Structure 1
C-alpha cells in the first residue's frame, strides 16, 4: 500500500475516509532504571528510541489494515501524533486519508 505524507500521489483518486492506527508501549522496570541513570549524564536513551521506533511501525501497520478493510489503494496526508502517558508509557497514532485510485 502506498503511504504518502503529501496529498498529490500522481494519480486521481476517490477519498474513502480517515484511517487511524494507535499503539501504546511501555518499557520494563530495568529499562526505566537505566533511563533514569542516563538522564543524569545525558545522551540518547536507546531503549526509549527503540520503543518509539517500534510504536511507529505498529501504528502504521494498524492504520494500513484499517485502510485495506475499506478497500483503499493508498493513504495520503499521513501524519503521526505521540504523547506520554505517565512516566514510562508512550502512545503513538498514525493517521491519514484512505483513498481508492481510479
Structure 2
C-alpha cells in the first residue's frame, strides 16, 4: 500500500482554503458565515473485524481500519467543503476533526470549522 492510500487533504482545485488556525496569514477575514461541518458514519465489515481481532492478539497496525478511517476523514472533509461553498465561503478557519465510536457498529467522523470570506491583506 502506497502513501497516497493513507493521506488526505483537500484537492488543490477545490477553490477553498482550509486551515486549522484561527487566522490566515496574508489574508483578512471580511465576513464570518458561521459553523460548517461534514459528517459520516462508517460501519466495519466482518473481514476487518476478524482481522482486527487477530491483530490485537499479536500487535501491529490495523491496515484495513486505517484505510477505512482515512476514507471517512476524506468524505467528511468533502462534505465540509460542499457546505462551506454552498454558503458562499472561500475559506474555512479553525478546522478540526472529531472521531467517536457510534456504538459497536461503526465510527463517526466529523470535520468542522468556521466558514469565512477572506481576501488578500
TM-score by length of structure 1 reads 0.94
Q: Structure 1 residue aligned with 2:34, among 17, 23, 43?
A: 17
Corresponding residue of 2:88: 71
1:50-91 alpha-carbon deviations (Å, 9 max, x no partner): 111011100000000000011000000000100112334111
Runs of 4+ in 1 over 2 A off after TM superposition: none
Call closer, same or farther: CA 1:17–1:75 in 2, change over 3 Å.
Answer: same
Aligned partners of 1:94 and 1:50: how far apart in 2?
17
Unaligned runs of 5+ in 2: 1-15
- The answer for unaligned runs of 5 or more in structure 1 is none
SS of corresponding position for 1:84 = strand
Q: Is structure 2 residue 70 aligned with structure 1 residue 53? A: yes
Task: Give the Cα–Cα distance (whole angstroms) in 1 for the partners of residues 105 and 55 of structure 2.
Answer: 14
* Pair 1:4 & 2:23 matched: no
Higher mean displacement: 25-34 or 46-55? 25-34
The size of the alignment, in residue pairs, is 102
Tell me how far apart the structure 2 counterparts of residues 61 and 54 of structure 1 sit (CA, whole Å): 11
Aligned Cα RMSD in Å? Answer: 1.0
